[in-house]
Structure 1
């Protein structure tokens, strides 16, 4: 009798378990986003509803840019200005929370709205340094004194129509070094390239587009008049990116991404007389960053 009772329980439990398995695989399957790559092994979990955060460091390359300077008794443009980034050498002391933001860095937090789509907010801290000295073409007008109170301009006073001049520190220094900050919102798509048999380790292609505001802190000296200015919303930008995420575990990942961007800065602080003097420019850039992140 006891054996018959145990056999009946086993059959009922086994039937119930198989029914649950069938429900999970047919009625309520895990919804995993389609990948453009063919994978023999696929994840058995969805990323929908998960949050990710990562931190990393970047290098940037800038296209030549025209910079317009405008204020009382002057309105001139320097053509095809060359500039570079200024990444600090990586040191162990950057693990100190007080120093972690000194180099050029990327911080991003995102949320998976679907298994293979996320929306995120980020802060790209880049640095832009105009090469000084350099020879450039100049157009426009420079008075004998500029701004108010007047700043003497010496031999550079005059009207220009494309002549070449040598820009020296006595005329100009121009940097966004604290920094060339891009506060942005991005939408990302993910395609699994490879999934390990464990289904926890994987390599994923990330692509995305975004847009946002440029919030530079510009250090400018125009005819030796200026300062390291306040942070200000100077303009806007758009970007697109492509990169790889390597998930060591389901949560921990390493990322390398290349981003291209176009920005329009309409109100750059220069001499510190913000109601009088300003600069404007359009900067195109390529950025590559390496980051460590976690997804949960």
Structure 2
């Protein structure tokens, strides 16, 4: 007697439109070498091909999970909305950290006439970036405050992954926003400056994988590339002194989040 095979019923996929989501996580960042231009009343010079790195906070529970300390590491926050089943718009803050590598040698061009041992006219010779010459970092935040539009696609059918507890998704998108750093800088061994200001702008593109569990909780890993231009970096309380810098960046992050239906579709009346 032949057996009648029944096709397994596939889980019903819910639409994403109308959902709100929020996420928090951490990043590692890498930066291209950059030229840094310093200009003030008594100096105007450029450091060429300066190397900078991020600063990873060693893992401690209180630094990564206590509410009053969770911005100490390099973090990512995002709040978004599905305006279509496959598209989201979101606002977020990528809290990266940039540290100029100390004691490196860099070509210098320009003039310094500030009554220091570094006074002179420079035409491309190398100078060692010692602490008594320059410390320069955006460690209380190379903050990229940005808006993103992303596409969001479910891969369960493509992967033949039939389950009702987990969705495998791919996401990609574009973003742009302002750079709002807190720059820590000392020049020629002078007074340290440490304050927030809007220094410039950035734009980025990303691709990521999202795993959503039970329709509401997710883990997402993204790779992001972008460009940052900061023509208005404050390095002292005197607004006549400033710096400018631009560079590319690559970011890898992992975030955890939740999503829920904000608006429900109206049921049609018969």
Within the candidate set 98, 102, 105, 1:132 is matched to 102
- Between the two proteins, the alignment pairs up a number of residues equal to 248
Determine the structure 2 residue equivalent to 1:95. 65
Matched with 2:142 is: 180
Q: CA deviation at 1:159?
A: 1.4
Structure 2: gaps spanning 5 or more residues? 1-8, 261-270
**What does residue range 219-238 of structure 1 map to in structure 2 within 5 Å?**
219-238=184-203
Distance in 1 (CA, whole Å) between partners of 2:211 and 2:32 is 30
Which structure is larger by alpha-carbon Rg, 1 or 2? 1
The answer to whether the 8 Å contact 2:184/2:194 transfers is yes
CA contact (8 A) 1:264 1:281 kept: yes
* SS of corresponding position for 1:89: coil
CA distance in 2, matches of 1:189, 1:244: 12
Which residue of structure 1 aligns with residue 210 of structure 2? Answer: 245
User: Within 5 Å, which residues of 2 pair with 1:203-218?
Assistant: 203-218=168-183
Aligned to 1:16: none
Cα distance, 1:41 vs structure 2:
5.5
Is the partner of 1:220 in helix, strand or coil?
A: strand
1:139 deviates by: 0.9
Structure number with the higher helix fraction is: 1
Residue 43 of structure 1: CA displacement?
Answer: 4.9
User: 1:234 and 1:269 mapped to 2: Cα distance?
Assistant: 8
When normalised by structure 2's length, the TM-score is 0.88
2:227 paired with 1:265: no
In the TM superposition, structure 1's runs of 4+ consecutive aligned residues that sit over 3 Å from their partners are 40-43
Could you tell me how far apart the structure 1 residues matched to 2:142 and 2:220 are?
Answer: 22
Which digits, 9 at most, give the CA deviation of each residue in 1:193-241, with x for residues without a partner?
Answer: 2254334411111101000000000000000123242211000000000
Q: Please report how far the alpha carbon of residue 92 of structure 1 lies from its aligned counterpart in structure 2 after TM superposition.
A: 1.7
Distance of 2:12 and 2:39 partners within structure 1: 57
